[in-house]
Amino acid sequence: MQLLEGIIRDYDWGSTTSIPELLGRPVDGTPAAELWFGAHPSAPSLVGCDGVALDALVAADPAAALGEAVAAHFGSLPFLLKVLAAASPLSLQAHPSIPQAEAGFAREDAAGIAVDAPNRSFRDRLHKPELICALTEFDVLCGFRDPAATLEGLATIAVTALNTVRDMIEADPSPAGLSNLLEWLLTLDAADSAALAEPVVAACVIATEGPFAAERAMAAALGARYPGDAGVVTALLLNFVTLQPGEALFLGSGNLHAYLQGTGVEIMANSDNVLRGGFSSKHVDVPTLIDVVEAHPVVPEVQRPALINGVATYDIPVPEFSLQRIEIDGECVLEPGPAILLCTKGHAECGDHVLDRGSAAWTPASDGPLTLTGRATVFRAGVGLLPEIHAQKA
């Protein structure tokens, strides 16, 4: 086990307080949006006193770092752990499946678009499933709501500007119809976008009580942040969920979503493929987004795992990562790595190493089981069941 230094990303939507307070650092007014723990090549964490980059450490001896099975299957650390602290909304976005990512990456390579170009949609050949676990109340837009419920919600916003939206849903509430509606919203010019969004936001500001009040308040807040953006109406088509601390949501390929506000622990596959659909000045590739987005309505499955012997295990249906929340009260034995440990509360010790609030550690596969002692909340990010192991267990 070696202590791990995370890398702060200062995107403008970040909180100025959450991550500095977690790390015990002064609050200086600079937004700190994400704290990365992992081996992503754009911002690898630094390991131990020598400050070796984690991706270089893994590459030097993959079998020792990852274990032979994980090294053979993935070749590198397949997940990225983050603390995400949103003071304002992130972009509406979706992530591709592996076949979509492979095809898109090849297509953009063939077109001569540089991997780091601002108009590039696919920066690698991987999918990017993710799970967000709330540390504070955390607001999320997550997948299309049932069209009947969406119409009920839109009926509480009494503006004629929404007539076209209502008519399109009533005419074709199927996934294909919702996909067509999304494409229409994404391709409005600036004037038409404002003509749609502004009266909707004004009505939501006024109507603060009654059914769908939370959704209207959400739309009003988005409209204040992104005036004239038709993404406000897109947001009203999606499920609006508020996670309580310890609760989590898994977001798979094609799920149109946005994190709106709050602080949470996020774990994902080690990919940077993001297709945006609003609330962003960055590249929006509408045809590719429409191809990737899964428009079948979903009911968000909020995870509230029970503690079993002090361990809450989140349900993650992909092999790239796993996540456990461990409430240590005395002594706890952790299974072998590869894993990243993040302490969000209290104090725990492992040999000569100390994990305080905000600190993290890297545990390679070669370490074997570890014993932590103390009183602390520790998140353990690891690799999930590999397909061949899963098949054997089934």
**DSSP per residue over 132-165, as a string?**
EEESS-EEEEEEEPPHHHHHHHHTTS--GGGHHH
Cα–Cα dist 65/63, whole Å: 6
Q: What is the DSSP letter of 172?
A: -
Q: In Å, how far from its chain's centre is CA 43?
A: 17
> If residue 104 lies in a helix (H) or strand (E), which one and from where to where?
helix 98-110
When the pLDDT of each residue in the chain is averaged and rounded to a whole number, the result is 94
252: CATH: 2.60.120.10
The residue-averaged pLDDT of 50-54 equals: 91
Q: How confident is the model over 91-118, as pLDDT tens digits?
A: 999 999 999 999 999 999 999 999 989 8
Q: Where do runs of H (alpha helix) occur along 155-238? A: 163-171, 175-186, 190-206, 213-225, 231-235
State the burial class of residue 188 (Cβ atoms within 10 Å of its Cβ: 0-12, 13-18, 19+): middle
For residue 381, being part of any structural domain is answered with: yes
- Whether residues 254 and 179 fall in one domain: no
At 393 the pLDDT is 43
For residue 301, being part of any structural domain is answered with: no
- Whether residues 182 and 198 fall in one domain: yes
For residue 333, being part of any structural domain is answered with: yes
The residue-averaged pLDDT of 167-192 equals: 97
For residue 300, being part of any structural domain is answered with: no
- Whether residues 67 and 167 fall in one domain: no
The residue-averaged pLDDT of 51-63 equals: 95
Which two structure tokens, joined as six digits, stand for 328? 């240590």
At 41 the pLDDT is 86
The percent of residues in the chain predicted with pLDDT above 90, rounded, is: 86
Angle at 73 between CA 70 and CA 77, to 5 degrees: 55
Taking the CA atoms of residue 273, residue 279, residue 280 and residue 286 in that order, the dihedral angle to the nearest 10 degrees is 60
The residue-averaged pLDDT of 36-64 equals: 93
For the chain, what percentages of helix, strand and coil (3-state, to nearest 5) are there? 30, 30, 40
At 368 the pLDDT is 86
- Expressed as residue numbers, the domain containing 177 is 147-236
Cα–Cα dist 223/135, whole Å: 26
Q: How confident is the model over 211-258, as pLDDT tens digits?
A: 999 999 999 999 999 999 999 999 999 999 999 999 999 999 999 999
At residue 259 the predicted structure's pLDDT band, cuts being 50, 70 and 90, is very high
For residue 209, being part of any structural domain is answered with: yes
At residue 138 the predicted structure's pLDDT band, cuts being 50, 70 and 90, is very high
At residue 42 the predicted structure's pLDDT band, cuts being 50, 70 and 90, is confident
By three-state DSSP, how is residue 256 classified? coil
At 252 the pLDDT is 95
At 102 the pLDDT is 95
At residue 388 the predicted structure's pLDDT band, cuts being 50, 70 and 90, is low
Which two structure tokens, joined as six digits, stand for 350? 């492992």
Which two structure tokens, joined as six digits, stand for 254? 């094609």
Average the pLDDT over each of 40-44, 60-64, 329-333 and give the range with the smallest value: 40-44
Amino acid identity for residue 226 in this structure: Y
At 242 the pLDDT is 98
Q: What is the DSSP letter of 204?
A: H
The residue-averaged pLDDT of 338-351 equals: 95
- Whether residues 259 and 330 fall in one domain: no
First to last CA, the chain: 32
**Whether the predicted pLDDT of 387 surpasses 80:** no
The residue-averaged pLDDT of 347-358 equals: 91
- Whether residues 14 and 123 fall in one domain: yes
- Crossing angle between the packed helical segments 147-154 and 163-171, to the nearest 10 degrees: 160
At residue 282 the predicted structure's pLDDT band, cuts being 50, 70 and 90, is confident
Angle at 323 between CA 82 and CA 95, to 5 degrees: 60
- Whether residues 125 and 87 fall in one domain: yes
**Whether the predicted pLDDT of 195 surpasses 90:** yes
What is this structure's pTM?
A: 0.94
The answer to whether residues 324 and 311 touch, using CB atoms and an 8 Å cutoff, is yes
At 265 the pLDDT is 98
Average the pLDDT over each of 112-116, 147-151, 249-253, 388-392 and give the range with the smallest value: 388-392
At 392 the pLDDT is 43
Which two structure tokens, joined as six digits, stand for 147? 């069209």
Number of domain units in the chain: 3
- Whether residues 87 and 174 fall in one domain: no
Query: What residues are paired with 3 via a beta bridge?
Result: 361
At 391 the pLDDT is 43
- Whether residues 58 and 98 fall in one domain: yes
The residue-averaged pLDDT of 322-350 equals: 94
- Whether residues 169 and 46 fall in one domain: no
For residue 292, being part of any structural domain is answered with: no
CB atoms within 10 A of CB 85: 28
Taking the CA atoms of residue 385, residue 391, residue 393 and residue 394 in that order, the dihedral angle to the nearest 10 degrees is 120
The residue-averaged pLDDT of 350-371 equals: 92
For residue 330, being part of any structural domain is answered with: yes
In the block, residue with structure tokens 């299974």: 335
- Whether residues 173 and 51 fall in one domain: no
Of 123, 145, 216, 276, which one is the catalytic site residue?
276
For residue 359, being part of any structural domain is answered with: yes
At 394 the pLDDT is 42
Which two structure tokens, joined as six digits, stand for 201? 């936001």
At 50 the pLDDT is 83
- Whether residues 110 and 33 fall in one domain: yes
Q: How confident is the model over 127-136, as pLDDT tens digits?
A: 999 999 999 9
Q: What is the DSSP letter of 14?
A: B
Give yes or no: 120 in active site.
Answer: no
| CB environment 25-54: b (16+ within 10 A), e (fewer) | eeeeeebbbbbbbbbbeebbbbbeeeeebb
